Amino acid sequence: MEGLVLQKIDYGETDQIIRIFLKEGGQVSGIAKGIKRSKRRFPHKLEPFRIYNFRFRKKPSQRLYFIESADQLRDFEPIIRDIRKIAIGNFILELLLTAVKENSSHPELYAYVLSFFDILGISENLLPLWLHGGLHVMAHLGFAPNFERCVKCHAPLRVKEVNHFSPRRGGIVCPRCSPASHFLPVSPQTLRILQFLIHSPLQTVTRIILPSHARKEIESFLVPFLTYHLERPLLTLPLLQESLE
């Protein structure tokens, strides 16, 4: 079964627990027994940012899959040469670890993540890329933010107005529905950027030049939006934000 390694955890002297996002089957956890010494069963180390063809077995009473072997299909080597790209990649991996449920198949999300890592490896305009990644991973999992209509009255948004974002409601609140002090401000330019990010394919997103004020606005509500809907803060976010300063 094809899958992307999300995380590895040492278990004893020779074993590792591997968290995997499968192309078909969602997230699974497996134990790779003897991986630190068996080059026959595991000729390649199981590392994040790599795709493998896994062979599993599992008894009904067992929680973990037993990883019999894993053949590497491809890697995303350009990512691990740049600390900024590692930070963005680790953010996406943590997002998947946190949000993708076990045995819940997401083939379209899997395809998006592989395309994201391909483009991340060759891109230099990284800021709009990580925002696109955060928004679209959440959208694939059913948490798409609403940047088109007010989430309270459902009226189309007026892009020339200063609107506001509600992390709890997951979208924009128009100025007629709530006092400005209750939510986070979204300027007209930032709203247009958000609409572009949520509707544009991944291949076009690196063309955006993101003004500093728009970045600050988006980060001011994207971080609490993720925290609220994931029900915990993402540990990779502080390093990511620092690396992109």
The pLDDT tens digits for 43-82 are 678 899 999 999 998 777 778 889 988 899 999 999 999 9
Residue 243 has pLDDT above 70, yes or no: yes
Domain chopping of the chain, boundaries: 2-75, 78-243
Of residues 177 and 103, which shows the higher confidence score?
Answer: 177
112-157 pLDDT, tens digit each: 999 999 999 999 999 999 999 999 999 999 998 999 999 999 999 9
Q: Which residue has the higher pLDDT, 40 or 98?
A: 98
Asked if 87 and 94 touch (Cβ cutoff 8 Å), the reply is no
Its pTM stands at 0.92
Mean pLDDT of 101-106: 87
30-97-99 Cα angle (round to 5): 130
- Looking at residue 152, what DSSP letter applies? T
117 CB burial (10 A radius; 0-12, 13-18, 19+): buried
Homologous superfamily (CATH) for 78-243:
Recombination protein O, C-terminal domain (1.20.1440.120)
SS3 per residue for 48-112: CCEEEEEEEECCCCCCCEEEEEEEEEEECHHHHHCHHHHHHHHHHHHHHHHHCCECCCCHHHHHH
d(CA 93, CA 200): 22
Please state, in angstroms and rounded to a whole number, the distance separating the CA atoms of residues 185 and 124: 29
Alpha carbons 119 and 61: distance in angstroms, whole number: 41
Tell me whether the CATH fold assigned to 2-75 matches the one assigned to 78-243.
no
| Single-letter amino acid code for the residue at 147 | F
CATH number of 2-75: 2.40.50.140
Given pLDDT bands bounded at 50, 70 and 90, which one contains residue 200? very high
Q: Average pLDDT, whole number, for the chain?
A: 90
CB 194 within 8 A of CB 222: no
